[in-house]
Amino acid sequence: MSGFAIQGWCPGALRPMLSGDGLVVRLRPPGGRLSPPQARAIAAAATAHGNGLIDLSARGNLQMRGVTEAGHPALIADLRALDLIDANPQAEAARNLLVTPFADARTEVLAETLTRALIAGPVLPGKFGLVLDTGPAPLMQEIAGDIRLERAASGGLLLRCDGLALGAPVSAADAPALAMRLVEWFLAAGGVQDGRGRMAALIASGARPDGALSPSTPPAPAQPAPGPGLHPQGALIGFEFGQLTAAMLARLADLGPLRLTPWRMLLVEGLANLPALPGLILHPDDPLRRVEACPGAPACLQGRAATRPLARRLAGQVPPGLSLHVSGCAKGCAHPGPADLVLVAGDRGFDLIRHGRAGDAPQRRDLSATDLDLKGLF
């Protein structure tokens, strides 16, 4: 299995990451929301300063690709005029808060208060994040998050550590302060080693918060993750491999305000009809929804082969209810969790893994992308 480098941090706008097609500039819009003028201006900036491709991340962010070192300052200036740039990289990194795209008014207030508290709070590891899943129904229990604010099964709100089945009941007024107390407990309990650390690892070591943070209450039952289509809040729209063009973003901005989601889709708020635009995934049973694929080579410096042409060709062979992950290396960025079938690019072809992750030991090695067929493999 080919090696890969773990960066230990995520790109931002002020701290972009170099990839095979240029700088990746990631935006964290406050609350995961974009007004139509903001979305149109982002589309224009992605075209002017990048290659016009925009990725939707599994953390509810968007990232512009193909930005040059020379063009990065002008891009930041354009985005700062949209109120989308933080005062400094530290404040940008601190705002690692994923908000449900189906947020109600109370959730919006919680998001604003938590954001301010995170910016003023202690420095946390680069990938440490919070999940705010307090909308009308819990939808993000399968989405990774170190500290989770959710609905309790008995009603009310719940503050829960990743790795624990139970959480501590909290009020809306106390939730932000108690969430930051949980952050302080994580740090004091030794959750960070050599600048890295995750809540689940600390919990696995046997550490438990106590007092007002003591876990005692189960969360509400998880609801299935929503698929593309019409929802009470608007139209949820998917894209092939979670990537859209700047032109697509501009067209969608004309239809209404946008919310980013952790399912690599956009919610067009208030839209009552599915848009008749090319290149969109509008139905839950679209075969492309059964396939995950990273950008691969040459767009990613660590990619050993092109991934998306192969994934696109094989999507129709994936049975309904099953999943295929095509990864450019063993890191498996596009889908860190297990898939029914995984194809990992190596130096001499693709390695095959059943019911596992990209970094697991393969059952077959060095399969030719040209000859690959999924018949009989599931």
The model's pLDDT over 51-100, given as tens digits with 9 standing for 90+, comes to: 999 999 988 999 999 999 999 999 999 999 999 999 999 999 999 999 99
* Pairing outcome for strands 339-346 and 291-293: unpaired
Structure token pair of residue 277:
């635009």
pLDDT of residue 72: 96
Instruction: Determine the Cα–Cα distance for residues 344 and 365; give it in Å rounded to an integer.
Output: 9
Residue pair 253/46 in contact (Cβ under 8 Å)? The answer is no
DSSP string across 279-330 = TEE-STT-GGGGEEE--BTTTSTT-SSB-HHHHHHHGGGSPTT--EEEESST
Residue pair 198/8 in contact (Cβ under 8 Å)? The answer is no
Helix H, strand E, coil C: the string for 64-91 is EEEECCCCHHHHHHHHHCCCCCCCCHHH
What number of other Cβ atoms are within 10 A of residue 319's Cβ? Answer: 12
* Pairing outcome for strands 258-260 and 265-269: antiparallel
The model's pLDDT over 114-164, given as tens digits with 9 standing for 90+, comes to: 999 999 999 999 889 999 999 888 899 889 899 999 999 988 999 999 999
The model's pLDDT over 8-19, given as tens digits with 9 standing for 90+, comes to: 567 899 999 999
The model's pLDDT over 342-368, given as tens digits with 9 standing for 90+, comes to: 999 999 999 999 999 999 999 999 999
pLDDT of residue 1: 42
| Structural domains in the chain plus CATH codes | 17-88+226-281 (3.90.480.10), 103-136+143-213 (no CATH), 287-367 (3.30.413.10)
Taking the CA atoms of residue 267, residue 269, residue 275 and residue 280 in that order, the dihedral angle to the nearest 10 degrees is -10
The model's pLDDT over 256-284, given as tens digits with 9 standing for 90+, comes to: 999 999 999 999 999 999 999 999 999 99
Structure token pair of residue 287:
């075969």
Q: How far is CA 277 from CA 248, 255, 256, 274, in A?
A: 8, 11, 15, 9
The model's pLDDT over 209-254, given as tens digits with 9 standing for 90+, comes to: 999 999 999 999 989 999 999 999 999 999 999 999 999 999 999 9
Q: How confident is the model at residue 165 (pLDDT cuts 50, 70, 90)?
A: very high
Would you give the end-to-end CA distance of the chain in angstroms?
A: 21
246-253 helix and 36-49 helix, angle to the nearest 10 degrees: 160
Helix H, strand E, coil C: the string for 20-69 is CCEEEEEECCHHHEECHHHHHHHHHHHHHHCCCEEEECCCCCEEEEEECC
List phi, psi (to 5°) of 242: 70, 20
Beta partners for residue 266, in sequence order: 237, 260
Instruction: Determine the Cα–Cα distance for residues 257 and 168; give it in Å rounded to an integer.
Output: 34
Q: How confident is the model at residue 376 (pLDDT cuts 50, 70, 90)?
A: confident
The model's pLDDT over 291-328, given as tens digits with 9 standing for 90+, comes to: 999 999 999 999 999 999 999 999 999 999 999 999 99
pLDDT of residue 161: 98
Q: How confident is the model at residue 2 (pLDDT cuts 50, 70, 90)?
A: very low
Q: How confident is the model at residue 375 (pLDDT cuts 50, 70, 90)?
A: confident
* Residue located via tokens 């004309």: 254
